[in-house]
Amino acid sequence: MEENITIGSGNSSDDLTTQSYNTQSSSVGTGVSSFNVPDDSYTRYRTMVKADWQPAARLKVGFTVTDDLLQAKGKKTEHGTEYANTIDFTDKRLTARLTTRYTTSTLSSGSLSGFGSNGHISYSPDRSLDNSVSYSYGNINDRDGSKYSSFTLRQSTNYFLYTDYGISRRILELNQGVEYEGQSYSTGLRRTTKSLIGGFRYYPISRLFLAGRAKYSLLTYEPETNATQSIYNATIGINFNLIQATLDYSLGRQNGNGNRLERRFEANLKKVF
């Protein structure tokens, strides 16, 4: 159990910022709710109770309840509570984590609630292959009665090739990915993005690499219009112990919902002293 009590006294001004005001900018939740920074004296009570249970050697379950109370001079009391649950599984080849949160807040401008969940699974049978799948979901009931929900799903596979002579080193990486992102609003607006990703990184010598990446996306804006988006990247880089440098060229094109064409050159240099 952990409890923090913060007491602030005085009035704020445009050219005066104190540490106590900075700590006031966030409250419980994952961005679903947040207290406004008080402009006068205030007292804040934040209490967290956490319990962990390990029923098996590789399995761990956690429960957390966080309560946040803000009392500011001349304003209504603001209160937020979050209930969170985590499940972790770790093995030599497989790791998995699931997190679920439910948040309720009563603010001076109204009440809101939110539910969120995210998970990640990674599987690596050996050093040559890596697979992962992750998702996130969020649902918010806002103060004005409107609702918003979002869902994201990502899958990626990476294949690594090593030399079988001399000192073993990585000479090739192949990358594949699929992504889905969707948002929906109570007003009827829906947005979705479906993407397919492919890429590689080749090491002709240990200190030099060549890389390429392509991403194709289908964008849907309901009930408005649809669009397609293509992004291509090419990179050359060197990597030494005390200096790293890359030169990157990117080309992006969008057709529909406002046609766009973008090109970008980027050079990066990092020196370690």
pLDDT tens-digit series, residues 178-215: 999 999 988 888 899 999 999 999 999 988 999 999 99
Residue 224 has what DSSP assignment? T
Q: What is the pLDDT of residue 37?
A: 64
Handedness of CA 176, 256, 189, 28 (dihedral sign): positive
Question: What is the identity of the amino acid at 201?
Answer: R
Looking at residue 206, its pLDDT comes to: 86
CA torsion sign for 8, 13, 17, 23 is positive
For the entire predicted model, the pTM comes to: 0.79
The 8-class DSSP code of residue 128 comes to T
What confidence tens digit (pLDDT) does each residue in 209-242 have?
Answer: 999 999 999 999 876 678 999 999 999 999 988 9
pLDDT digits (tens, 9 = 90+) for 128-180: 999 999 999 999 888 788 899 999 999 999 999 998 876 788 899 999 999 99
* SS3 label, residue 164: coil
Across the chain, the runs of DSSP E, i.e. the strands, are: 2-8, 42-56, 59-72, 78-90, 94-107, 110-126, 129-141, 147-162, 170-185, 190-205, 208-222, 225-239, 243-255, 260-271
* 3-state secondary structure at position 23: helix
Give the model's pLDDT for residue 12: 59
Give Cα separations from 136 to 7, 81, 88, 183, 212 (angstroms): 36, 21, 16, 12, 28
Q: What is the tens place of the pLDDT at every residue in 65-122?
A: 999 988 888 888 888 899 999 999 999 999 999 999 999 888 877 788 889 999 999 9
Q: Classify 93 as helix, strand or coil.
A: coil
| 259 vs 149: CA distance, rounded Å | 28
Residue 112 burial (C-beta neighbours within 10 Å; 0-12, 13-18, 19+): buried
Mapped onto helix, strand or coil, the DSSP state of residue 271 is strand
| Widest distance between CA atoms in the chain | 75
Answer for the pair 238, 244: CB distance below 8 angstroms, yes or no: yes
Helix (H) or strand (E) holding 257: none
- How many angstroms separate the CA atoms of 4 and 193, rounded? 42
What are the helix (H) ranges across the chain? 19-22
Tens digits of residue pLDDT in 20-41 = 444 444 445 444 445 666 777 8
